[in-house]
Amino acid sequence: MSTSAKTIGVVGTGVIGAGWAVRALSRGYDVVAWDPATGAQDKLHSAIERAWPAATKLGLFPGADQSRVDFASTPEELASRVDWIQENAPENEEVKRPLLRSLAAASGPDTIIASSSSGLLPSRLQDGCEHPERILIGHPFNPVYLLPLVEVVGGKQTSKATIEAAVAHYDDLVMHPLVVRHEIEGYLSDRLQEALWREALHLVNDGIATTEELDDAVAYGPGIRWAGMGTNLTFHLAGGEQGMRHMLHQFGPALKLPWTKLVAPELTDELIEAMASGCADQADGRSIAELEQLRDDYVLSVMRSLRPLDLGAGRIVAEREARIHESSAVQPWNEGADIDAPLELYSAVVEPDWVDYNDHMTEAAFLTAFGWASDKLFRFIGIDEAYRGAGHTFFTVETHLNYLREASLGEPLRFTTQVLGVGDKRLHIFHSMYHRESGELLCTTEQMLLHVDTGSERTAPILAHPAAALAAIAGAHRSLPKPDQVGHTIGVS
Ligand SMILES: NC(=O)c1ccc[n+]([C@@H]2O[C@H](COP(=O)([O-])OP(=O)(O)OC[C@H]3O[C@@H](n4cnc5c(N)ncnc54)[C@H](O)[C@@H]3O)[C@@H](O)[C@H]2O)c1
């Protein structure tokens, strides 16, 4: 993983270009953008502003700053100033080919130029460009700042080194680069998406279903399965004990029945009207910006719910968290380092899946948030994936929460952590949760944790490095006043 600073060039700043800009900015990189449309600069700034809360929830790297974006006055100027060019002009060869040619002529021969095209052949796009071996497709998904998939497709002249550099680059942006091994139109995912979309257009055109009914047919069923397992593994499970083999025997013959129509319907005015008015009905007065926010919230929730299962995009969420931690300004404890009293290692905003129907944080969510604060403490003292992988961790055995004020959706939070005591195998801690802007204390928790050997499931002494860290922190926190809530019991008299 490369950690050096980069300047990313974003050419064409519509839906996808703005999405790339947010992804690069949230990674802590600089962006230089160019778009020929009047007002493009203002539009880009407001798109970044709209997407920033979602990008923040996914996690910002150190240095991430919405304002680190500059507009170039020509594509040539952009090409001369950046380390990587991502082209996002309209999906039209007549527009993209001359644009790529001028970007290639104005950039150094080692600057990679990736087109976000949804389906054009890279061999045709790179044809006639200087140093065509550094040109390829990097096809993302909307919203680019959240969805990890990017298809990497080389053309006939693309070098192996360019493909490898693209995989490394997108991995560095904490995405899931999927190398499409054979150059085909539409690549992999748009071949799949288009088959579904074509059938939807037929079903509306034939008056069989509305756009809403078709969306229900996805959202309440197969769509939920797709997020974690895709189509094939899902169908493997639909075949019972014998998996896909039985599935094919049972449903395979149906593939020959006229269930689907392989040729797209004519885009008549009536069909366009039926699709557009169907979607307008579904939007029910909500603006695109409102729907975007709703989409970002549920995409984040789905990705996060897959995290503990280490499935699909959930793996990327965990990876991003670990990498942000690695590169974060808070250096893990080491011998002789100054220790803040109390420690301040975690901040967050109240998430949509943390609140109840009143938009207030639930009891379980307070514990979740304090769990993250503990996780930050663990990482600070050297308890990470490797430590846990080697069979050592802390288990919480007692928790005492004191709720002082409710926290509402979207409110910014900061947490402090005080080590009250540490023994051979035990750790006594106290977290406080504050409103990050008003400074109000919202909730506290006092916890006792036991260090365990996960193999034997028995308590075991804390290993040397975290033990030394905890002893040092406990020493630095000894002079802190004991918080009022510590040691309270519940009673009526
Ligand atoms: N929208 C999606 O879901 C999606 C997903 C993946 C990939 N893509 C691909 O991304 C690319 C951009 O799509 P979009 O949805 O952002 O379109 P868009 O219409 O939102 O944005 C296109 C932008 O390109 C600008 N532009 C016009 N002519 C240009 C030129 N000559 N040079 C540079 N910029 C120019 C326009 O002013 C506009 O801002 C397309 O290739 C598309 O296939 C789109």
pLDDT at 198 over 90: yes
* Residue 153 shares a structural domain with residue 248: no
**Per residue in 306-322, pLDDT tens?**
988 889 999 999 899 88
List the end-to-end C-alpha distance of the chain, in Å, as a whole number: 59
| Index of the ligand 1 atom closest to the CA of residue 37 | 37
The number of beta carbons lying within 10 Å of the beta carbon of residue 367 is 15
Domain that holds residue 280: 189-285
- Nearest protein Cα to ligand 1, atom 32: 89
Residue 82 domain-assigned (yes or no): yes
CA–CA gap between residue 118 and residue 100 (Å, rounded):
16
Domain boundary among 179, 213, 232: 179
Q: Tell me: the pLDDT tens digits for 321-374? A: 888 877 775 778 998 889 999 999 998 888 777 888 888 999 999 999 999 999
Contact 191/184 with Cβ under 8 angstroms?
yes
Task: Give residues (CB < 6 A) around ligand 1.
Answer: 11-17, 35-37, 40, 88-91, 95, 99, 116-118, 139-140, 142
Q: Supply the pLDDT for residue 256.
A: 79
What's the number of CA atoms in the CB half-sphere (13 Å) around residue 41?
8
- From 396, 440, 449, select the one nearest 414 (Cα to Cα): 440
pLDDT at 142 over 70: yes
pLDDT digits (tens, 9 = 90+) for 437-484: 999 999 999 999 999 999 999 999 999 999 999 999 999 999 999 999
Domain identity same for 27 and 100: yes
What residue type is 384 in one-letter code?
D
| Residue 379 CB partners (closer than 8 Å, separation 6+) | 325, 332
Distance 90 CA to ligand 1 centre (A): 4
How far, in Å, is the centroid of ligand 1 from the Cα of 107?
21
Q: Is residue 300 part of a domain?
A: no
Residue 302 counted as domain residue: no
Do 139 and 153 touch, CB atoms closer than 8 A?
A: yes
- CATH number, domain of 268, equals 1.10.1040.10
491 part of a folded domain = no
Do 154 and 256 share a domain, yes or no? no
Q: Are residues 340 and 452 in the same domain?
A: yes
Cα distances from 215 to residues 190, 196, 248, 257, in angstroms, run 18, 11, 26, 24
Higher per-residue pLDDT: 130 or 309: 130
Whether residues 201 and 341 fall in one domain: no
- Which of 12-21, 246-255, 291-300: highest mean pLDDT? 12-21
Domain-terminating residue out of 131, 160, 179: 179
Which atom number of ligand 1 is nearest to the Cα of residue 142?
Answer: 3
Give percent of the chain with pLDDT exceeding 70.
99
Which CATH number belongs to the domain containing residue 446 in this structure?
A: 3.10.129.10
Q: How far apart are CA 35 and CA 9, in angstroms?
A: 11
- Looking at residue 132, what DSSP letter applies? G
Q: Work out the average pLDDT over 108-118.
A: 97
- Same domain? For 46 and 119 the reply is yes
Q: Domain boundary at 148, 179, 210, which?
A: 179
Cα 441 off chain centre by: 30
Quick one: average pLDDT of 249-258?
80
Distance CA 405, CA 433 (A): 10
Residue of 93, 118, 137, 153 to test ligand 1 pocket, by largest number of atoms within 8 Å of CB: 118
In a domain? residue 133 = yes
**Given ligand 1 and candidates 10, 11, 16, which is best to mutate, with the most ligand atoms within 8 Å of its CB?**
16
- Look up tokens 């996060």; give the residue: 304
- Domains identified in the chain, total number: 3
Separation of CA 35 and ligand 1 centre (Å): 10
d(CA 366, CA 431): 11
> Is the same domain home to 96 and 195?
no
Residues 6+ apart with CB under 8 A from 112: 84, 85, 134, 135, 136, 162, 165, 166, 169
Mutate to test the pocket of ligand 1, among 32, 35, 151, 189 (most ligand atoms within 8 A of CB): 35
What confidence tier does 385 reach under pLDDT thresholds 50, 70, 90?
Answer: confident
Per-residue model confidence (pLDDT) at position 235? 86
Residue 184 lies in a domain: no
- C-alpha of residue 83 to centroid of ligand 1, in Å: 21
- Looking at residue 196, its pLDDT comes to 95
Show Cβ contacts of residue 431 under 8 Å, excluding neighbours closer than 6 positions. Answer: 370, 373, 374, 415, 416, 417, 418, 444, 445, 447
Give the atom of ligand 1 at the shortest distance from the alpha carbon of 19: 16
Q: Which is the closest atom of ligand 1 to the Cα of 18?
A: 16
Both structure tokens of 474: 């406990």
Domain match, 169 and 29 both: yes
Tell whether 228 and 372 lie within a shared domain.
no
| Same domain, residue pair 335 and 260 | no
Q: Which of 465, 484, 475 is nearest to 341 (CA)?
A: 475
Residue 175 has pLDDT above 90, yes or no: yes
CB 346 within 8 A of CB 378: no
State the chain's mean pLDDT as an integer.
Answer: 93
Q: How far is the CA of 319 from the centre of ligand 1 (A)?
A: 29
Q: What is the CATH number of the domain that holds 127?
A: 3.40.50.720
How many angstroms does the Cα of residue 359 sit away from the middle of ligand 1? Answer: 37
What pLDDT does 384 receive? 87
Q: Which atom in ligand 1 lies closest to the alpha carbon of residue 11?
A: 33
- What residues does 151 pair with on adjacent strands? 139, 178
Distance from the CA of 197 to the center of ligand 1, in angstroms?
Answer: 20
Residue 164 domain flag: yes
Out of 22, 78, 88, give the residue to mutate to test ligand 1, the one with the largest number of ligand atoms within 8 Å of its CB.
Answer: 88
Residue 130 banded pLDDT, cuts 50, 70, 90: very high
Residue 9 CA to ligand 1 centre (angstroms): 14
What spacing in Å lies between the alpha carbon of 11 and ligand 1's midpoint?
9
In a domain? residue 310 = no
In this structure, are 351 and 439 located in the same domain?
Answer: yes
**pLDDT (0 to 100) of residue 2:** 43
Q: How far is the CA of 47 from the centre of ligand 1 (A)?
A: 14
Q: What is the mean pLDDT of residues 136-153?
A: 98
Ligand 1 test: best mutation among 10, 15, 32, 145, most atoms within 8 Å of CB? Answer: 15
Which token pair is 359? 């938009």
Identify whether residues 154 and 213 lie together within a single domain. Answer: no
Residues 5-61: pLDDT tens digits?
799 999 999 999 999 999 999 999 999 999 999 999 999 999 999 999 899 889 889
Q: Residue 1: pLDDT band by 50, 70, 90 thresholds?
A: very low
